[in-house]
Amino acid sequence: MTAGDEALAREVSGELDAMGKASHYCGETGSASKMKLVVNMIMGGMIAALGEGIALSQSLGLDGSQIQEILEQGAMSSPMLKLKGPSMAEGAHPPAFPLKHAQKDMKFALGEAQKAGLSLPVAAAANSEMAASMEKGLSDLDFSAVIEAVRAAPPC
């Protein structure tokens, strides 16, 4: 994602395309950072929901590999599900995107939403679960460690 001088972004688009799957011009300076914040907020909500689903399925005695397979075959299939689901079910969280950075982005996104007069209850809940996982000393693990807050939480 790029922002700022659009002519310059077009000029270097070939180099940017070579470094990743695609390049996206997002507008004026700062817009790419805002876009990344929104993307990370969505990803944080998704990983928290996945963690809740895995924790619930395990507490119900369901086959973890079966829930993974069913999710992968349906509309919820995604690269993140395929990458994170199995390790979350096993309780393994090798850091790729540290929880402390994911939670920071959630907090910033919630701050931007407040400035815009928006309520983001799903993002707020995911942020709370991330903060609870960090309180358990999991800050440097992958953001998939958010599942550990669900596993440790008292029932509703």
25: which strand partners?
Answer: 2
Q: Radius of gyration (Cα) for the chain, nearest Å? A: 18
Cβ–Cβ < 8 Å for 50, 89: no
Which of 36, 82, 84, 115 is labelled catalytic?
Answer: 36
**What CA–CA distance (Å, rounded) separates 52 from 27?**
36
**What CA–CA distance (Å, rounded) separates 107 from 32?**
18
Other residues' Cβ atoms within 10 Å of the Cβ of residue 120: 18
Q: Catalytic: 104?
A: no
Indicate which residues carry an active-site annotation.
36
